[in-house]
Structure 1
Amino acid sequence: MLTSQLHNIIIDVETHYIDEQSDPEIARYVFAYTVTIRNMGKVPARLVTRHWVITDANGKVQDVRGEGVVGEQPYLRPGEGFRYTSAAMIETPVGSMEGSYQMVADSGEQFDAPINPFSLAQPRTLH
């Protein structure tokens, strides 16, 4: 398919629990996530908006939408990447996140770059 060759945005995510900002006694679990976005396609594209679905172990869902990431709308030429760190807070020691970035190519064509589900887990919670 032509689109998959033109638009190939690879997204990798690493997470870690932030103990000093979390407080299990009041159901506050904070996780940092570092995202690496790489444009492995054939055309430049700008990340314009984000959509996250954050789910805790109780099934509570946070639907988060906004412009750009960490105050930026990175423009990625083929072969270029962008890395940033942000955080999420949930009410349980385990949860998950997934979503997408909405991208715009130089031609004006809009497309989504999916973010596969990943786990948020307090250390020693998952086996």
Structure 2
Amino acid sequence: MIYQIPINVETFYIAGQSDAAAERFVFAYTITIRNESGSAVKLLRRYWSITDANGKHTEVRGDGVVGEQPELAPGSSYTYTSGAVLETPVGTMQGHYEMQTTDGNEFEAPIPLFRLAVPNVLN
């Protein structure tokens, strides 16, 4: 069965916590997960693939998001904000959430590739 779990991402550069001279670029991202399937789902785990402009690749795995394992009824959504620190002013993130239906079926909801970038660093 295919589960419709669209994921929307908005990104923000946090200049006040960043230090270009120290190669520290801090970003926040707000994610909205929508359950457009016909059954309730629970977010069990997350997986991130993060790549900076130097090609440095980091993988992050863990339970839930921001300390929670939200349950989404059909038609509902869940929004949270988290962050990432890069050594370059530009990078990308992508990954997936491991979800489970109320009847125990597990599946992955893909998180599309998105860019983290200091404003005006790219045309």
TM-score (norm 1): 0.96
Deviating 4+ runs (over 3 angstroms): none
Give aligned pairs, total. 123
Q: Compute the RMSD of aligned alpha carbons.
A: 0.5
Distance 1:73 1:8 in 2: 18
Unmatched 5+ stretches in structure 1: none
Distance 2:121 2:49 in 1: 21
Aligned to 1:112: 108
- Partner SS for 2:21: helix
2:120 to 121, 124, 127: 124
Aligned to 1:61: 57
Distance 1:75 1:86 in 2: 18
Alignment of 1:17 onto 2:13 = yes
The letter for the 1-side match of 2:80 is Y
TM-score (norm 2): 0.99
Distance 1:32 1:101 in 2: 18
- Partner SS for 2:28: strand
1:124, distance to aligned residue in structure 2 (A): 0.7
1:55, distance to aligned residue in structure 2 (A): 0.4
The letter for the 2-side match of 1:41 is S
The letter for the 1-side match of 2:75 is G
Distance 1:29 1:54 in 2: 13
Q: Describe the superposition over 1:1-42 as per-residue Cα deviations: whole angstroms up to 9, x where unpaired.
A: xx12xx111100000100000000010000000000000001
2:69 to 59, 70, 73: 73
